[in-house]
Amino acid sequence: MTGLTLADHEVSEASKQIAEDHKNRANEAFKAKHYQEAVDAYTAAIDANPRNAVYLSNRAFANLRLENLGSALADASAAIELDPTYAKAYYRRGDAAFALAHFKDALAEAEKQLKRARFEEALSQPDNDVPVSDTIVLDDVAIDSSYCGPALPTDENGAYFINLEFIESMLEAFKRGQTLHRRYVLWIVLEAQRLLKALPSLVHVDVPAGSHITVCGDTHGQFFDLLRIFQLGGAPSEANPYLFNGDFVDRGSWSMEVMLTLLAHKCLCPGAMHLTRGNHEAKSMNLIYGFYGEVREKCGPTAVEVFRETFCWLPLGYVLRDTVLVLHGGLFSDDGVRLDELAAIQRYREPPEAGHMCEMLWSDPKDTPGREPNKRGVGIAFGPDVTRAFLQDNGLSLLVRSHEVKDEGYEVAHDGYCITIFSAPNYCDQMGNKGAFIRFKGEDMVPAFTQFEAAPHPDVKPMKYAASMMNGMFGM
C-alpha cells in the first residue's frame, strides 16, 4: 500500500483509524458488488482522512464499475496529485479517460503507463461521404453451398421477406452458437433502416384503452436475457408491443444477435417493436466496448458500417399516449425545452459532445435540486425540480429513462416523476443486479414492474470483443 503524503501530521490518529474503518467497509461492499455502497464508504474515508491517495484511487475504481467516468477521472487525478508514485492511480486515470472516449489522452496515458495503443489505427480512419448502405448489392453477396443456417423466405418474384417462422429458426440458431449468413444480416438491417428513416426523431405512440406496451431498458448484448424478457412478457406482436430504450449493444458478447432479434421483429411488424437510440449506439463506443469487433468477426467490416448507419436513424425518444416520455439518458442543461424542438433534431449523425441530442443520450438524474456536471463527464445531472418543470411545460406526467444499472432493475425517483429501467441482469456477469421491464396499460398508464434474474448462458465472457484496455478495466 502506498504511504500517506502531504502533511500527514494534520490528520489525527483517531481520524486515520476512522478512515481505515470506512475503507475496510468499502472494500467489503466492493467485493460484494455493491459499488454505490462502496463509493459512499470510500467518501466517508476521504472525509476523515483526505491525505490518503489509496482512498481516492479505490473510489475511482468503484466509480469505474458504476460507469461514473467523470468522477473516476477526477478521483484518480486527485490521487496522483497526492502521491505521484502511486501506479494504480495512473491505471485508473487511463481507464477512465479511455472509457470517456478521450482517445488522445487515453492513448498518451497508455503509452506512458501501460504501453498500449490498440486503437490508433482504427481511430484514424475517416468516415465515408457516401453511406455504405447505399452501395450494398445483395445479389453480389454469394451464399456458399456449405451454409446450413436459417434462410430468409422469398415471394413469387424471388424477393426476400420475413415471417415468424424465420425469426424462430434464427433464434434457435443463435442459441446453438450459429450466425446468420452475411446476406441475410444485411437484408434485415437494411430493411429495418428503411423503416427507421421514415420516423421522426421523437415518435408519438398511442396506447388506447384495452391495450398495453412494455418498456425495456439496456440489454447490452445479453441475448439470453432478451429471450427471458420475451418468455416473461410474451413475444412481440401488434397486440403485445415493446419499446427497447437503447444500449442494445456493447459489453455483452451477443450484441449482434440482440440487434438482429430486435430489428427482425421491427421488420416483421413495425408497430410491435419500437427502438430508442442509446449512447452505445455510436461509433466511438462500439470501437471500445465490443460491438465493432464482434460484428467484424462474425459478419465482416461492411456490416459494421451498415449497422452504424442504421444506428444513426434510430429515434431519440418516444411519447406514449401523450403522457409518458421515454428516452435513454435524461433532460437538459437549459429550461423551457419543448417536445417539438426534440422532434426537429437532425439525428442522422454520430452523437455530439453537447446539446439536446447529447443530453438525451447521456444525462442522469440526481437527488438534489438544480443541475450540475454529470459524474460520467458527459451530459448533465438534473434534479427533481428540473424533471417537474420539464413535464409541466410539456403536458406530460412521467419520464422513463435507462442508462444506469440498478440493483432491483429499476428505480423510482424525483417524487415518482422519473423512472430508471434497466433490463440487463447481472450486468457483465459481475454486477449481481436484477433486470426489469415496465408494462403500461392504456387505461391509466400506471407503470407495473416485472423483475427477473439473469438467464443461464454459454461460457462466453462479456467484453470478449472489446478493446484489451477495457477488458483489463473490468478484470476480464
167: left (phi over 0), alpha (psi -120 to 50) or beta: alpha
End position of a domain, from candidates 86, 117, 148:
117
Q: Output DSSP code: residue 125.
A: P
Catalytic site residues?
A: 280
Band (pLDDT 50/70/90 cuts) for residue 7 is very low
Per DSSP bridges, beta strands 435-441 and 447-452 are antiparallel
What the block records as the C-alpha cell of 335 is 429550461
Residue pair 433/227 in contact by the 8 Å Cβ criterion = no
242-266 burial: b if 16+ Cβ within 10 Å, else e: bbbbbbbbbbbbbbbbbbbbbbbbb
Nearest to 413 by CA among 422, 401, 423, 425: 401
216 DSSP β-pair partners = 244, 437
Residue pair 36/406 in contact by the 8 Å Cβ criterion = no
- What CA–CA distance (Å, rounded) separates 476 from 474? 6
Q: For 165-194, how does the pLDDT look when each residue is reduced to its tens digit (9 = 90+)?
A: 999 999 999 999 999 999 999 999 999 999
CA 406 vs. chain centroid, Å, equals 13
Band (pLDDT 50/70/90 cuts) for residue 4 is very low
Residue found by looking up cell 412478457 in the block: 233
Kindly state whether residue 152 falls inside one of the protein's structural domains: no
End position of a domain, from candidates 98, 117, 136:
117
Q: For 82-131, how does the pLDDT look when each residue is reduced to its tens digit (9 = 90+)?
A: 988 888 888 888 877 776 655 445 444 444 443 433 343 334 334 456 89
What the block records as the C-alpha cell of 475 is 478484470
Kindly state whether residue 181 falls inside one of the protein's structural domains: no
Same domain membership, residue 112 and residue 208: no
Kindly state whether residue 411 falls inside one of the protein's structural domains: yes
Phi, psi of 314 (to 5 degrees): -65, 135
Q: Which stretch of DSSP H or E encloses residue 203?
A: strand 202-205
Q: Which residue has the higher pLDDT, 268 or 473?
A: 268
Residue 117: predicted pLDDT = 34
Same domain membership, residue 313 and residue 441: yes
Q: What whole-number percentage of the chain has pLDDT above 90? A: 75
End position of a domain, from candidates 63, 82, 117:
117
Amino acid (one-letter) located at 231: Q
Same domain membership, residue 407 and residue 304: yes
pTM for this entry: 0.83
Domain count of the fold of the chain:
2
- Residue 48 sits in a domain whose CATH number is 1.25.40.10
Structural domain that includes position 293: 199-473
Q: For 356-402, how does the pLDDT look when each residue is reduced to its tens digit (9 = 90+)?
A: 999 999 999 999 999 999 988 899 999 999 999 999 999 999 999 99
